[in-house]
Structure 1
Amino acid sequence: MPGLGTLVNVAAIVVGGSLGLALGGRLPERTRTVVTDALGLVVLLIAALNAAEVLSPDLTTAVGSAAPTLIVLGSLLVGGIAGSLLRVEERLEQLGRLVRAALTRRTAAVGAQGGARQPSAAGGTAAPAAERFVEGFVSSSLVFLVGPLAILGALSDGLGNGIDQLALKAALDGFTAVAFAAALGAGVLASALPVLLYQGAFTLLGVLLGSVLPDAHIAALTATGGLLLVGVALRLLRIRDLPVADLLPALLVAPALTALAAAF
């Protein structure tokens, strides 16, 4: 069922955030590192399965046996050049900083209008609950949304390729929600709503593409997305911080190149 992956993702954030509120800051850093490494290895497995679509009979029938690899290569090159020129990754990071700064300034202004902060038990100044809520909401939302898995997984779900990628993202987000909620409080739970809307939109886009794109085009898109997942895995494993977001335009190029190759 299209959309199931996003629902699983949202549930993982809510459960992880609730667990984080209960645990507080007692989660060891070593545990977080081990879990992240394990998830990185699983991403590599899913990436390999997706990349294997380059051998899809539908794709080889449409473009020949030699062309699929060239289509994936061309998609990554053209998409990477376009993404780097457009500075997709940098703009996503800038957007995140702007949203955080804007909401933080707005909350600070409301707090100033409301009067002086209440002194804390230690003799300092306690941060307003609203400011802490916004920080938790914004920080966690950016982590959950600004990443290629949110787009790749939702598209894959909508295209009917299963929820493997979003299930993996759910595991990542759920564990991250534990850490965020332990440090930043209940605002992390509210970040489940933008995840639902954002990934739901890309799932719907995948459903629409699946109804108009031939199987060969979908196979090329899936294979290209599999290589992007390798980049995600390398980042999780702290091997290489690849600018995966700059490569996202390759997902648009892959079907176009497949159509071009099939025409000749």
Structure 2
Amino acid sequence: MVLFGTLVNGGLIVIGSMLGLFFTRIPERYKETVMQGIGLVVILIGLQMAISTDQVIIVLLSLLSGAIIGEVLRIEDVLNHFGTWIGSKFATTSDDVSISQGFVTATLVFCIGAMAIIGALDSGIRGDHGVLITKGILDGFTSLVLTTTLGMGVMLSVIPVIVYQGSIALFATYIDKWIPEALLNGLITELTAVGGLLIVAIGLNMLKLTQIRIGNLLPSIFTVILIYYIYQLI
């Protein structure tokens, strides 16, 4: 089953979030310190991914073009509005802003990264769900901690996670017919690097050191594909 790994990943996020709802009474100073710890680890993960690039110019051009597209489309605002709207449908006591923040933060943390892309590709190309199941375990624990601070919105992130990873897995069942393996491996490297920088930005925002509009940088995940292809032609 192509979507098995994605469904397991989504299920573990839901379980972790449900458990997190029972720990919301944890003192605020504990939550703050734990979130800072997660933020530091997120930055470390992002840096490890970012330095994997073989061509920094591809990463730079991808982020620049992605940022322009994101600002024009105002993706950050769309994500926030969607998080607020969907939160209002599922919750009546939570603050809309908190729900939106939890939804957007968790969606970015769970969707952007090497494990999401490579795991989904493995599921589609080789039928190997090991990477996504491992990711699901990590996401489940992370969602538990995030939910204690950001609330119900974290659980709602399971929707884009399943759509995103499921789409990649389904696409991957045909990708080997269109893209040579060597080209695909190089593309994954640059995708990982771009995603890593976005994850670093998430960590910095979690530490409240910056207010980077990460949503408006998301198109770079897609522009890197075109830029990498053009670079290979040149």
| TM-score, length of structure 2 as denominator length | 0.75
SS in 1 for 2:20: helix
Q: 1:166/1:86 Cα in 2 relative to 1: closer, same or farther (>3 Å)? A: farther
1:2 corresponds in structure 2 to: 5
1:16 corresponds in structure 2 to: 20
Is 2:81–2:100's contact at 8 Å kept on the other side of the alignment?
Answer: no
SS in 2 for 1:238: coil
CA deviations on 1:158-181 (whole Å, 9 max, x unpaired) are: 134945776555444212333567
Give the deviation of 1:97 after TM superposition. Answer: 3.5
Is 2:102–2:150's contact at 8 Å kept on the other side of the alignment?
Answer: no
Indicate yes or no: 2:203 matched with 1:199. no
Q: Distance in 2 between matches of 1:210 and 1:28?
A: 45
Is 2:35–2:146's contact at 8 Å kept on the other side of the alignment?
Answer: no
Is 1:78–1:253's contact at 8 Å kept on the other side of the alignment?
Answer: yes
Give the deviation of 1:206 after TM superposition. Answer: 2.4
Instruction: Write out aligned runs for 1:1-264 (5 A).
Output: 2-3=5-6, 4-17=8-21, 19-20=22-23, 25=25, 27-55=26-54, 68-100=55-87, 103=89, 133-136=91-94, 142-147=100-105, 148-153=108-113, 154-160=116-122, 162=131, 169-179=139-149, 188=152, 192=155, 194-211=156-173, 212=175, 214-264=184-234
Is 2:12–2:140's contact at 8 Å kept on the other side of the alignment?
Answer: yes
Q: 1:69/1:237 Cα in 2 relative to 1: closer, same or farther (>3 Å)? A: same
2:126 corresponds in structure 1 to: none
Q: 2:14 is matched by which residue type in structure 1?
A: V
Q: 1:11/1:165 Cα in 2 relative to 1: closer, same or farther (>3 Å)? A: same
What is the RMSD computed on CA atoms of the aligned residues? 3.1
Gaps of 5+ in 1: 56-67, 105-132, 182-187
CA deviations on 1:191-249 (whole Å, 9 max, x unpaired) are: 74x44433111111222454525111121111100000110010011111111110000
SS in 2 for 1:175: helix
Instruction: Work out the number of aligned pairs and report it.
Output: 210
Q: 1:222/1:180 Cα in 2 relative to 1: closer, same or farther (>3 Å)? A: closer
Q: 1:49/1:145 Cα in 2 relative to 1: closer, same or farther (>3 Å)? A: same
Q: Distance in 2 between matches of 1:191 and 1:238?
A: 18
Q: 1:71 is matched by which residue type in structure 2?
A: I
Q: Distance in 2 between matches of 1:156 and 1:83?
A: 24
Q: Distance in 2 between matches of 1:263 and 1:98?
A: 44
Q: Distance in 2 between matches of 1:166 and 1:243?
A: 26
| TM-score, length of structure 1 as denominator length | 0.68
1:184 corresponds in structure 2 to: none
Q: 1:93/1:159 Cα in 2 relative to 1: closer, same or farther (>3 Å)? A: same
Is 1:218–1:255's contact at 8 Å kept on the other side of the alignment?
Answer: no
SS in 2 for 1:53: coil
Q: Percent identity?
A: 23
More off after superposition, 45-54 vs 32-41: 45-54
Q: Distance in 1 between matches of 2:141 and 2:46?
A: 16
Is 1:82–1:249's contact at 8 Å kept on the other side of the alignment?
Answer: yes
